[in-house]
Amino acid sequence: MNVELLRVLLRDALAPEELRRVLAEFPAADGVLRARARDPAGDGEALIDDALAVLERGSLGPAFLVHLAAARPDLAEPLREVAGPSGAPEAFAVASLLSAGQDAAAERKLTELERARPSTAGDRHELNLAVADLHRWQREAGERAEPSEAGRDAITRRLTSVAASMSARSLDAAEIGEAAAVHPEAGRLREEIEAHVRRADGKRAALRLLDLAERFAGPAVRRRAIELSVRAGIWRSRHVLGGRLEVGEQREWTDLLQAILALTDDIVAGAAPGSGGLWLTAPLDGAGRPVPEAEAAREYEPLVRAASLSLRYRRGGPQVLRDVSLTVFPRTIVGVVGGNGAGKTSLLRVLAGERRVDDGMLAYPQLDPAQGREIDWPAVRSQVAHVPQRLPQWREQLADHLHAWAGACGIEGDENRDAVDFWLERLGLANRRTARWGELSRSLQARVALARALVGRPRLLLIDEPLVALDPRAQQWLLQDLRDIVSSSSLCLAAVVSSQHIPELEAIADDVVGLRDDGGVWFHGAVLDLEQARRGALFEIGGRLDDATCDRLTAAFGPGCLRQRESVTLLRVGRDVSRGAVLELLSAGGQPPSYFRDISASHLRMFWGDRP
Ligand SMILES: Nc1ncnc2c1ncn2[C@@H]1O[C@H](COP(=O)(O)OP(=O)(O)OP(=O)(O)O)[C@@H](O)[C@H]1O
């Protein structure tokens, strides 16, 4: 939008009283602007300044152009120039044709606009409604032999919001393109939000909008994103059961989806370097651009590097960790999987600095500023949030508890208030602000533990068995949120998550450390390679195996290596495991199986299937 041209137009083409009236009647203006416009003693220039400041914000500018075109059809041409190349001039051309009484031309234009297929489902829906409104209005006008002003206004109002939404998308296309090219995460999140909107999943769209705002926007925009998320939540609870929406409700819903998309674009456009947005949280150079090396270090240098860790709780006692190695990169989730007593909790306690290892190398390249021979544990611990399996309880009301916790982490004042509000909304806890520990389900208690960890602005999350006692839906909900937050957050954090729920964790993890029952490692690497490793070799074993044999095999080849299929047992092992080694373990209890064969190359391997 050409703001300077609009300034000239407002000053020279409109009499002061007319300017006041147009601004006072502009439905999308904020209350302050409308009140000023109604003040007959106010200064005209100052009013124009105020108006332009409001119109430049968000996507109100194009909506105002439509509004003005409807009031002053003679200004259509200069307004088109002000709007620039976007869908908005089309929309306000229709408005001005209607206003000038050229209904047939307005209808033609509107139909053209609808055919042009604007980019979002919300826009298309809104245009359909506008066409329907126009037809109804024409019919009514024909019957009454006199056009109805109210009908005309209704169509203009609707076009105003379409124009706002469409131009929010096309006016900023260049900026959005630039931001997405420089920072693919912004572009990716925008695409994801659009996809949720297309599926009319407003709540998921709003949650991802919160992630986008947390990463790229300042507190005011985050507040706006929180408001939209609250509205989307109310909508979901009202309409989740698939009730039909009334026409008025449809409009409200469309407005909400459009507002989500418009704010998304505002944030993404602001994420472009040089736009004044926050775009990254890395240190900035003199010109306000992120320092590339600092950003690269933050994104790509590991948070944890551990090699050959070993641990015994007491001298001469059993070895709990044996030669365990892992590397944790920012924005990744490392799953630590294994059976009962495999050492998962112990490994997390070592990483949290609660337990010293007997041997091995442990370093926190980004968290330990000194990088000396000894780890600076206070510095590291202040950036690590450990959520133990036994969740911490609290006495106060939930929001008070989180405020106090954030305060204890050094987050004070507005930042404290904003962080608590943000995480309560993001994790679906906002309507439980006043709840106490005992009033929450286990699933919500797990979410509170996550919120508490996140308000402290950690770089590393260590989460022990978060899925225990959650039903499958709650497990999926929690893991999906964790995945989204770790991928997108401005904290640039990583998570190490332990669980016995191997398939669930694998679905969201980047890397896996699979612990054997003896504390050794049966797999360490990318999830993508895990399947490959498991595919190594497949053996079919006759009959059911006794518990002792199952335990022996699981200890050697890791949890999940065995599946019972009808009258046979299938065993999956790495490629490097010999037939002889497997047979030895099968026979160690003195009862060799009735038969045993390698079916790796046979179609029978299909019987492994997805079913555990
Ligand atoms: N404080 C301790 N003192 C002595 N032994 C311990 C201690 N904590 C754990 N162990 C032992 O270390 C081994 C590993 O325990 P750990 O809790 O790390 O395993 P885990 O994989 O988390 O098991 P689970 O899934 O049952 O929680 C177990 O044999 C356990 O008995």
For the chain, what percent of residues have pLDDT higher than 90? 31
User: How far away, in angstroms, is 470 Cα from ligand 1 center?
Assistant: 22
Q: Which residue has the higher pLDDT, 125 or 406?
A: 406
Average pLDDT over residues 172-189: 72
The rounded Å distance from CA 469 to ligand 1 centre is 19
Tokens, residue 464: 């022990």
Q: Whose CA is nearest to atom 23 of ligand 1?
A: 341
Enter the DSSP assignment of 288: S
Report residue 55 CA to chain centroid gap. 29
Atom of ligand 1 nearest to the CA of 500: 25
Indicate if the pLDDT at residue 469 is higher than 50.
yes
CA dist 574 and 243 (Å) reads 52
The pLDDT of residue 413 is above 80: yes
Q: Is the separation of the CB atoms in 265 and 175 below 8 Å?
A: no
CA distance 251 to 135: 18
pLDDT (0 to 100) of residue 447:
95
**Which amino acid residue places its CA nearest to atom 30 of ligand 1?**
341
Top-ranked range on mean pLDDT: pick from 261-270, 278-287, 332-341: 332-341
Residue 279 has pLDDT above 50, yes or no: no
Ligand 1 nearest atom to the CA of residue 464, by list position: 22
Burial class (CB in 10 A: 0-12, 13-18, 19+), 247: exposed
Ligand 1 pocket: which of 309, 340, 345 to mutate (most atoms <8 Å of CB)?
A: 345
DSSP-derived 3-state class of residue 529: helix
> How close is the Cα of 126 to the center of ligand 1, in Å?
59
The reply to whether ligand 1 has any atom less than 6 angstroms from the CB of 344 is yes
What is the C-alpha to C-alpha distance for residues 79 and 101, in angstroms, rounded to an integer?
19
Residue bearing the CA closest to ligand 1, atom 16:
343
Rounded CA-CA distance 498/515 in Å is 10
Dist. CA 151–CA 137, nearest whole Å: 6
Distance in Å, CA 320 to ligand 1 centroid:
7
pLDDT given at position 600: 72
**How far, in whole angstroms, is CA 38 from its chain's centroid?**
42
Q: If DSSP codes are grouped into helix, strand and coil, which group holds residue 527?
A: helix
Per-residue tokens: 267: 């944030």
Six token digits for residue 395? 């006495």
Ligand 1 and 343: CB distance under 6 A: yes
CA of 506 to the centre of ligand 1 (A): 22
Residue-averaged pLDDT of the chain: 79
**Domain boundaries of the chain, sorted by first residue:** 3-170, 173-270, 300-462, 536-608
- Residue 96, pLDDT score: 64
Q: Which residue from 313, 358, 390 has its CB within 8 A of the most atoms of ligand 1, so it is best to mutate?
A: 313
For domain 536-608, the question of CATH label 3.30.70 is answered with yes
* Cα 347 to averaged position of ligand 1 atoms, centre (Å): 10
pLDDT band at 158 (very low <50, low <70, confident <90, very high): low
Residue 493 has pLDDT above 80, yes or no: yes
Tell me the CA end-to-end span of the chain in Å, nearest whole number.
58
Please count the residues of the chain. Answer: 612
How many H-runs (helices) and E-runs (strands) does the chain carry? Answer: 26, 13
Mean pLDDT of 267-295: 53
pLDDT at 453: 96
Nearest CA to ligand 1 atom 12: 320
| Site of tokens 């003679």 | 74
351 lines ligand 1 (CB under 6 A): no
CA distances from 280 to 288, 289, 290, 450, 488 (A): 11, 9, 7, 23, 11
Q: Encoding tokens for residue 438?
A: 């005992």
Q: What is the pLDDT of residue 364?
A: 95
**pLDDT confidence bin for 420, thresholds 50/70/90:** very high
Q: Is the pLDDT of residue 276 over 50?
A: no
Question: What's the gap between Cα 602 and its chain centre?
Answer: 43
Q: Which of 132 and 404 is assigned the larger pLDDT?
A: 404
User: Atom 26, ligand 1: which residue's CA is nearest?
Assistant: 340
Q: Whose CA is nearest to atom 28 of ligand 1?
A: 341
What pLDDT is stored for residue 31 in this prediction?
73
> Is the pLDDT assigned to residue 240 strictly greater than 70?
no
How far, in Å, is the centroid of ligand 1 from the Cα of 387? 16
Hey, which of 309, 314, 320, 356 would you mutate to test ligand 1's pocket, going by the most ligand atoms within 8 Å of its Cβ?
A: 320
Distance 312 CA to ligand 1 centre (A): 10
Residue 127 near residue 162 (C-beta atoms within 8 A): yes
Q: How many CB atoms lie within 10 A of CB 580?
A: 8
Superfamily of domain 300-462: P-loop containing nucleotide triphosphate hydrolases (3.40.50.300)
Per the model's pLDDT, the better-predicted residue between 196 and 56 turns out to be 196
Q: Is 338 in the pocket of ligand 1 (CB under 6 A)?
A: yes
Q: What is the pLDDT of residue 87?
A: 46
- Nearest CA, atom 29, ligand 1: 341
Spacing, Cα 345 to ligand 1 middle (Å): 7
Answer whether 39's CB lies under 8 Å from 104's CB: no
Beta-carbon contacts of residue 525 (< 8 Å; ≥ 6 apart): 511, 512, 533
Poorest-pLDDT segment among 55-64, 313-322, 348-357, 464-473 = 55-64
According to DSSP, the residues that pair with 327 across neighbouring strands are 305
Find out whether the beta carbon of 346 lies less than 6 Å from any atom of ligand 1.
yes
Give residue 121's pLDDT band: very low, low, confident or very high (50, 70, 90).
Answer: very low
Index of the ligand 1 atom closest to the CA of residue 349? 18
Minimal CA–CA distance to 297: which of 518, 465, 434, 459? 459
Average pLDDT over residues 357-378: 90
| Residues 297-351 pLDDT 10s | 677 789 999 999 999 999 888 999 999 999 999 999 999 998 888 899 999 999 9
Tell me the CA–centroid distance for residue 385 and ligand 1, in Å. 20
pLDDT 10s digits, 194-236: 888 877 788 899 999 999 999 888 888 889 899 999 999 887 7
CB atoms within 10 A of CB 362: 18
Spatial distance between the Cα atoms of 609 and 195, rounded to a whole number of angstroms: 31
Determine the pLDDT at residue 226. Answer: 95
Q: Is 341 a pocket residue for ligand 1 (Cβ < 6 Å)? A: yes
Q: What is the 3-state secondary structure (H, E, C) of 106-167?
A: HHHHHHHHHHCCCCCHHHHHHHHHHHHHHHHHHHHHHHHCCCCHHHHHHHHHHHHHHHHHHH
pLDDT-based confidence at residue 356 (cuts at 50, 70, 90) = very high
Which DSSP string corresponds to 552-583? HHHHHH-TT-EEEETTEEEEEE-TT--HHHHH
pLDDT digits (tens, 9 = 90+) for 500-551: 888 888 889 999 998 887 778 878 888 877 766 666 788 889 878 888 999 8
pLDDT of 215 reads 87
